[in-house]
Structures are given as C-alpha cells and as structure tokens.
C-alpha cells in the first residue's frame, strides 16, 4: 500500500487530520487498532471549544453537532456550597462552548471520512515505523493476522497515549514532563434531566464534583475519588448521595436517574517537548495528556492537527517545509498554555489539603478572587472557551 500521509489512529486527531488533508487534495490512509463499534462507543469527555466547533463547521461535519449539541455561555464555580457564575461568553465577546459527547464527534467524523472516500482500516495494528529519516517512511502493520506495510511521504501518529508513535522518537532527543495527581475521577452517565442549565464545578470538603450533561434526558457527573478506589466500592445510591452533598447549594435539587455507565479514570498531566522526528509527526494524546478539569483533551488534539494539516499543505503545494519544521514549536505554545490552565483548574477545584488548613485558605482565596476581580474571571473565561491567538 502507498499514500501521501499514513495516519495511525482513528480518534478525534487522526480523523480530523484526514478530513483537513482531503480538503487540500492530499491523500491519507488511516490505520486503527480497534473496531469501528469500539471507537464509536468509547465514552470520554464532551466539551467543545469555539475553535473546535468552527473547524468542524469549516469541514462541513457539524450538522448533527448543531442539532443535538448544547451551546453554553457560562459556568458555575462553587466552593463550600457558594456558587459563583462566570459568564464566559459575555467576558469573551461572544465565544461559547458546546456540549457534545466525544463519541458523537467520532461517529460524525468516521461517517464523513467514509462518505468522502477516505480509507479507514479498522482492526489493523501499526507495529513499527521505518525510514523516518528518509523521504518514504513505512508503517508496518498487521491486519487479519497478516503483516503488511504502508509506504508514505509522511507519518502522522495520532495513536493516543498508548500508541507506538511516541516510542519511535529517539530516546534522548526530548524531555518528558509528568504529574500524577493523588486522585481520580469517578464518572457516570445517567438517564436524568440536567439539574442545572450550566455546568457546575464544585469544591467540597469531601472532594471535587462536576455536574455536566449530554442531552435533555442524559446527565454526566463526576466525583473526585482516591487513586486505587474501585467502582465496585460505589453503589448507585452512594454515588448520588455523594454528588448531592458535594454539589449542594441553598434551594437547589439534584435530579437522580438510572446510571447506565460508570468508571474511574486517573488524573494526569503529561507531555513531551518534541512532536516530530524526520518524517514522523505526533498529534493529540500521543504527545500530551491534560487532566479533564479544563475540558481540553479533544480540543488540544484538534488544534494540533489543524497546524499539521497546514504544514502538509504548504509542503505539497508550495514545496515549503518551514511550517512542518516549526510544527513542534508552534504546537507547544498552545500545549503549555493548556497544561497550565488544566493544572490551575485542577488545583483550584480539588481537595488536596485538610479542610481549614493554610493550603485550604490559599485555595479559597484564589476562588474568592474570581468574584472580586473581573480580570481573574476573564482569565478563566478566555482560557476555558479557548484562546484564539495561539
């Protein structure tokens, strides 16, 4: 097999990249380890920045997103039962966010790729990348138990945190940065109408809780739990009781319903400071992970491939390699900004120190500052909706 861009991974990064390339007349082939059913059912976060929605509009893949997605214009930040509203659309001159589950995004992108004739090989595992320093790198892969290869002009490793792309960078050629947080998120999906018109991020002395939603009938909620906690330790009633406690505010009720999906995910910040080597380029979770408190994972993946697609277009159309040469440098500006914001939101809203301690009071002072200072509210708002400039 031969193509211009060999893409490993049919997550948001790989699929969006293939569609962007096709728009520029550049051919790509996607190799995906899992089945179509598996990737379309994988439950993840669901908040899209304005930049992401704008890009999906440009790609003409946003029809269902606009029909079923829920536009949001502000959020509640709550501390010890006191809620503060951050009107982020007002603070950012009209920029909004949209709630639309990542698996719905993936379904729409796969459908568009297939309809537009972009080949996606599911249940196909990339095993090695050869010749990255030559002009025709090759992806070795297995399909139906057979070893095959895909020769390309460039390889885009959009293969997530556990993929093979990152492992093919020369070992000593980059720095790796990592924080493993001492807590995880227990997430549920439930048949319950939204209990609030906006998302609620809440600090409570028992730990953080987040109220989000998916549709007028489905809610998505999260609880901070200890690392090592097991989902079997949490009955549905215990989950709802704890959510009610942590999200409580005077005169407000939490709507309960049947829980149909639950799981625990560790919280981590991770990145490397090199996203390319020779003709291999990394994008999305393959190069960085952010804790979900800032709702940035998918948005950052899409921002990477937007830059990468521009680089490929400039190379194939103008024989100009400069954008590709600068790919890492261009991406890292946004990655570091988003790492900082995600880490800031995580420390702002999670319980880390004994209630009432010096650290607790510092955390509360940071929270209270949002209420006193429009500048601080605006800082949170512009980062949350996604900075346009980088």
Q: Which of 6, 12, 74, 294 binds ligand APR (CB under 6 A)?
A: 12
Q: How far is the CB of 201 from ligand PHB (least distance, A)?
A: 7
Q: Going edge to edge, which strands form the sheet with 138-143?
A: 124-130, 138-143, 146-151
Binding to ligand APR in span 38-97, by CB under 6 A: 39, 44-45
Q: Which does 301 bind (CB under 5 to 8 A by kind): ligand APR, ligand PHB, none?
A: ligand APR
Q: Which of 11, 69, 187, 291 binds ligand APR (CB under 6 A)?
A: 11
The count of residues interacting with ligand APR (CB under 6 A) is 28
**Interaction of residue 377 with ligand APR, rule CB under 6 A:** no
Considering Cα of 347, then 351, then 357, then 360, what sign does the dihedral take? positive
Closest among 168, 130, 177, 124 to 9, alpha carbons compared: 124
**Contact set with ligand PHB (CB under 6 A):** 45-47, 199, 212, 220, 292-293, 295
Partnered with residue 212 across adjacent β-strands are: 220
Please answer whether residues 30 and 118 qualify as being in contact, where contact means their C-beta atoms are separated by less than 8 angstroms.
Answer: yes
In angstroms, how far apart are the furthest CA atoms of the chain?
Answer: 66
Q: Which of 108, 153, 159, 198 binds ligand APR (CB under 6 A)?
A: 159
**Interaction of residue 291 with ligand APR, rule CB under 6 A:** no
Q: Which of 6, 46, 101, 160 binds ligand APR (CB under 6 A)?
A: 160
Active-site annotation, residues: 72, 201, 292, 296, 384
Q: Which does 47 bind (CB under 5 to 8 A by kind): ligand APR, ligand PHB, none?
A: ligand PHB
Residue 221: strand, helix, or coil: strand
Closest among 40, 47, 45 to 71, alpha carbons compared: 47
Q: Which of 126, 223, 303, 308 binds ligand APR (CB under 6 A)?
A: 126
Residue with structure tokens 């440098």? 329
**Interaction of residue 309 with ligand APR, rule CB under 6 A:** no
Interacting span for ligand APR (CB under 6 A) from 53-61, 152-160, 189-197, 334-342? 152-160
Q: Which of 31, 53, 61, 118 binds ligand APR (CB under 6 A)?
A: 31
Q: Report the alpha-carbon distance of residue 172 to residue 158 in Å, rounded.
A: 21
**Interaction of residue 164 with ligand APR, rule CB under 6 A:** yes
**How far does Cα 244 stand from its chain's mean position?**
27
Binding to ligand APR in span 266-285, by CB under 6 A: 284-285
**Interaction of residue 386 with ligand APR, rule CB under 6 A:** no
Q: How far is the CB of 26 from ligand PHB (least distance, A)?
A: 33
Q: How far is the CB of 199 from ligand PHB (least distance, A)?
A: 6
Q: Toward ligand PHB, which CB reaches closer, 213 or 275?
A: 213
Alpha helices in the chain (DSSP H): 12-23, 36-41, 50-58, 63-68, 88-91, 102-115, 236-247, 297-318, 322-325, 327-349, 358-372, 374-385
Q: Which of 50, 78, 92, 102 binds ligand APR (CB under 6 A)?
A: 102
Q: Going edge to edge, which strands form the sheet with 199-203?
A: 82-86, 75-79, 199-203, 209-213, 219-226, 176-191, 258-272, 288-289
Q: Report the alpha-carbon distance of residue 31 to residue 306 in Å, rounded.
A: 20
Q: Report the alpha-carbon distance of residue 70 to residue 65 in Å, rounded.
A: 8
- The torsion angles phi and psi of 357, rounded to 5 degrees, stand at -75, 170
Q: Toward ligand APR, which CB reaches closer, 44 or 84?
A: 44
Binding stretches for ligand APR (CB under 6 A): 8-14, 31-34, 39, 44-45, 102, 125-126, 158-160, 162-164, 284-285, 297-298, 301
């Amino acid at each position: 097999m031969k193509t211009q861009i060999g893409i490993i991974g049919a997550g948001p990064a790989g699929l969006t990249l293939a569609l962007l390339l096709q728009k520029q007349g550049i051919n790509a082939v996607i190799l995906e380890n899992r089945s179509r059913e598996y990737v379309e059912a994988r439950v993840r976060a669901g908040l899209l920045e304005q930049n992401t929605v704008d890009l999906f509009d440009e790609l003409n893949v946003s029809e269902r997103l606009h029909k079923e997605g829920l536009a949001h214009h502000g959020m509640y930040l709550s501390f010890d039962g006191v809620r503060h509203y951050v009107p982020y659309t007002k603070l950012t001159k009209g920029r909004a966010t949209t709630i639309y589950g990542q698996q719905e995004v993936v379904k729409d992108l796969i459908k568009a790729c297939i309809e537009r004739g972009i080949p996606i090989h599911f249940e196909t595992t990339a095993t090695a990348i050869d010749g990255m320093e030559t002009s025709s790198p090759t992806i070795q892969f297995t399909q139906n138990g057979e070893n095959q290869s895909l020769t390309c002009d460039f390889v885009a490793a959009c293969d997530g945190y556990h993929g093979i792309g990152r492992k093919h960078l020369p070992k000593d050629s980059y720095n790796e940065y990592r924080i493993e947080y001492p807590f995880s998120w227990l997430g549920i999906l439930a048949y319950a109408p939204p209990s609030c018109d906006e998302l609620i991020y809440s600090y409570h002395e028992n730990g953080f809780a987040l109220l989000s939603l998916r549709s007028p009938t489905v809610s998505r909620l999260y609880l901070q739990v200890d690392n090592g906690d097991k989902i079997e330790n949490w009955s549905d009633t215990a989950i709802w009781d704890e959510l009610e406690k942590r999200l409580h505010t005077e005169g407000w009720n939490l709507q309960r319903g049947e829980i149909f999906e639950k799981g625990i995910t560790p919280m981590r910040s991770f990145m490397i400071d090199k996203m390319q080597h020779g003709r291999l380029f990394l994008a999305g979770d393959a190069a960085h992970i952010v804790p979900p408190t800032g709702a940035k994972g998918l948005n950052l993946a899409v921002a990477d491939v937007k830059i990468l697609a521009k680089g490929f277009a400039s190379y194939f159309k103008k024989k100009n390699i400069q954008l590709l040469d600068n790919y890492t440098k261009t991406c890292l500006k946004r990655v570091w900004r988003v790492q900082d914001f995600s880490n800031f939101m995580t420390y702002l809203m999670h319980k880390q120190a004994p209630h009432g301690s010096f650290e607790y009071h510092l955390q509360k002072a940071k929270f209270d500052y949002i209420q006193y200072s429009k500048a601080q509210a605006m800082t949170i708002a512009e980062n949350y909706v996604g900075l346009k400039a980088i």
